[in-house]
Chains A and B, each alone.
Chain A
Amino acid sequence: MRRIVPIGPYHPLQEEPEFFKLIVEGEKVVDLEINIGYNHRGHEFISQTLTWDQIPFLVERICGICSDSHPYAYVLAVEDCAHITAPPRAQYIRTIIGELERIHSHYLWLGLAGHFIGYNTVWMWVWRYREPLLDLFELIMGNRNHYAINKIGGARRDILPEDYPKIEKYLDLLEKKNAMFTNAILDDPVIRARLENVGILSKEDAIAYGVLGPTARGSGYACDIRKDDPYDAYDKVDWNMIVFEEGDVLAKAKVRLIECNESIKIVRQCLKNMPDGPIETRVDEIPPGEGIGRHEAPRGEVFHYVRSDGSNMPVRHKVRAPSFMNVASNVVAVKGYSIADAALVLAAVDPCYCCTERTFVYENGKKKYSGQDLLKLSWEKTEKIKRRYGK
């Protein structure tokens, strides 16, 4: 007999708006219906009403976790349209931030995955070492999130040479800890038993559904934009693409864990070979035409398409986030597994429904900061950053 188990519209575990309708026979999932759109904000429409330089700030807010990926792909698209090349130093800076963001996003997923399967130790451990990375972001760009580093024809902020040792110090710490996580998680018999042979997505299905990123690479489909269609500094550094054939949840976890090591390698090489020079080029106008930008975000290929008619705004700006393809593939990945596995399988693609929550600070039961206080704090910080950069 068929019954329906609804998960959502507000996912109890992921705290994000989505709706999964699991159709079950006994304990077994036989079909899945996915409803999305609870968070549709019309970015593509808004984008047509903004100027070229304003859009990076808009697309950055599509997602709080990969807030570097969208503006990165967008500026690559506009640069492709206008045949601009960013100066070498800017290319290296953008590559470094892109890779640091990958580590932060993979750690976020790893912590959540640990939390999902009831291993709160993994969650607390991993997030303990993700925290210094966010501090590093704040040091370099002034924000823990929404970095605003990308700009058409360059980067908005430089990485000061005095900050290099701080980044390297963190990378040294991370390399040790990442090895520790990899061993601890992959050698744990309980985690292995829980993740192995669960939610298998075959290579044929992976290609048919066009999945991307770690989801595709965990299913044996070697597709990584950084290798296939190298941009910025990615073809100037030495690193490996991580591919596993199994297609289960464990393979996806392995891809993400080992990929962090490759990211560390890339950032190290970039810091070592960072060229001197300007960080931006002058961009006068965007000629009529079309441009496509692709960036390998933590979850897969982010795709941006822009069409220009020579005015100061795009005629059309198409955004495709990797989760749009990855979430749809759940329909095949979840079939035939038990309800208990379903929550895990649905989370294994690292879905991102693009919402971040805001925080209040309470002390002794009273709200500590009002809106005005927060504004004041942000002004003070801007002043601090200006002094650092000598402006």
Chain B
Amino acid sequence: MKKEYSKKILDEINAKFPEVIIKIHSPRRTYISISREKVYDFVEFLYKEKGFRFSIATGIDTRDGIEIIYHFSHDEAGTYYNIKVLVPKDDLKIKSMTMLLPATDWIEREIHELLGVDFIGHPNLVPLLTAETWPADLYPLRRDYADEHKNIKIKKKLWEES
């Protein structure tokens, strides 16, 4: 089989979800942007109807909000579909997919503790990686945390020199 994007699947996506923005990066990598409200249906469509394999999700702290990318692999064609969703900072909520797709359980917990996104409907949203004593309102992968961290480091150095 030719290992490239099939136009058929992209056309189907376009027909079913006309508002998505599709960007083809290379023959086997594409990025699809979709709104927060539609992403659950879209993931359901990819997983249930098209049989794509959920690979992982990535959370990124950006200027406009927390961006979540759901990475799906279409193993038969060897192609990769990355679904981008933007969650605004003043309303960090998104529908959980754990009941639909058990594979998302751990990664939703991880994004919740590292970036502070609430997954509505997750059965067990407790920290996965951080210690039990870690403060609940401190999100280590946020940009502002990184800035604080830098200052702490520099201060320590100055103190050592003096």
Spell out A's residues near B (CB within 8 Å): 36-37, 40, 42, 44-45, 48-49, 80, 83, 207-210, 222-223, 228-230, 289-292, 294, 301, 303, 305, 307, 315-316, 318, 320, 324-325, 328
> What A residues does B54 contact at CB under 8 A?
210
B89 at the interface (CB under 8 A from A): no
Instruction: Identify which of B10-18, B37-45, B101-109, B154-162 touches chain A.
Output: B101-109
B144 at the interface (CB under 8 A from A): no
Within 8 A of A (CB), among B76-126: 76, 78-80, 82, 101-103, 105-107
> What B residues does A37 contact at CB under 8 A?
127-131
> What B residues does A223 contact at CB under 8 A?
53, 75
**Min CB distance, B117 to chain A, in Å?**
15
Bound together, the chains give a CA A307 to CA B61 distance in angstroms of 12
Interface residue from B29, B58, B79, B105 paired with A316 (Cβ < 8 Å): B58
Asked if A42 contacts B140 (CB within 8 A), the reply is: yes
Interface residues on B, range: 35 or more
Scoring B60, B82, B130 by chain A CB atoms within 10 A of each residue's CB, the highest score goes to: B60
Bound together, the chains give a CA A207 to CA B47 distance in angstroms of 10
> What A residues does B133 contact at CB under 8 A?
none
Bound together, the chains give a CA A230 to CA B79 distance in angstroms of 11
A230 in contact with B31 given A83-B26, A328-B105 (CB within 8 Å): no
**Min CB distance, B44 to chain A, in Å?**
13
A328 in contact with B106 given A42-B140, A228-B78, A292-B82 (CB within 8 Å): yes
> What A residues does B60 contact at CB under 8 A?
307, 315-316
**Min CB distance, A266 to chain B, in Å?**
18
Asked if B26 contacts A209 (CB within 8 A), the reply is: no
Asked if A210 contacts B53 (CB within 8 A), the reply is: yes
**Min CB distance, A235 to chain B, in Å?**
8
Spell out B's residues near A (CB within 8 Å): 3, 25-26, 28-29, 31, 51, 53-56, 58, 60, 69, 71, 73, 75-76, 78-80, 82, 101-103, 105-107, 127-131, 140-141, 146
> What B residues does A209 contact at CB under 8 A?
102-103
**Min CB distance, B155 to chain A, in Å?**
16
Bound together, the chains give a CA A42 to CA B103 distance in angstroms of 22
Q: Which residue of A lies closest to B56 (CB)?
A: A320
Asked if B71 contacts A303 (CB within 8 A), the reply is: yes
Q: Which residue of B lies closest to A321 (CB)?
A: B56
Bound together, the chains give a CA A366 to CA B149 distance in angstroms of 43
Bound together, the chains give a CA A223 to CA B76 distance in angstroms of 9
13 A-B pairs with CB atoms under 8 Å apart are A36-B129, A37-B131, A44-B141, A207-B51, A208-B101, A228-B75, A228-B76, A230-B78, A292-B71, A303-B56, A303-B71, A307-B60, A320-B55
Bound together, the chains give a CA A318 to CA B28 distance in angstroms of 19
Asked if B103 contacts A229 (CB within 8 A), the reply is: no
**Min CB distance, B78 to chain A, in Å?**
4
Asked if A207 contacts B55 (CB within 8 A), the reply is: no
> What A residues does B58 contact at CB under 8 A?
305, 316, 318
Bound together, the chains give a CA A208 to CA B99 distance in angstroms of 10
**Min CB distance, B53 to chain A, in Å?**
6
Scoring A37, A209, A228, A290 by chain B CB atoms within 10 A of each residue's CB, the highest score goes to: A228
Q: Which residue of B lies closest to A320 (CB)?
A: B56
Interface residue from B29, B78, B101, B130 paired with A292 (Cβ < 8 Å): B29
List 7 additional contacts besides A228-B3, A230-B3, A292-B71; criterion CB under 8 Å. Answer: A36-B128, A80-B29, A209-B103, A229-B3, A292-B29, A320-B55, A325-B56
> What B residues does A290 contact at CB under 8 A?
25, 31, 82
**Min CB distance, B82 to chain A, in Å?**
7
Asked if A292 contacts B80 (CB within 8 A), the reply is: yes
Q: Which residue of A lies closest to B31 (CB)?
A: A290
> What B residues does A83 contact at CB under 8 A?
26
**Min CB distance, A334 to chain B, in Å?**
15
Asked if B102 contacts A229 (CB within 8 A), the reply is: no
> What B residues does A210 contact at CB under 8 A?
53-55, 101, 103
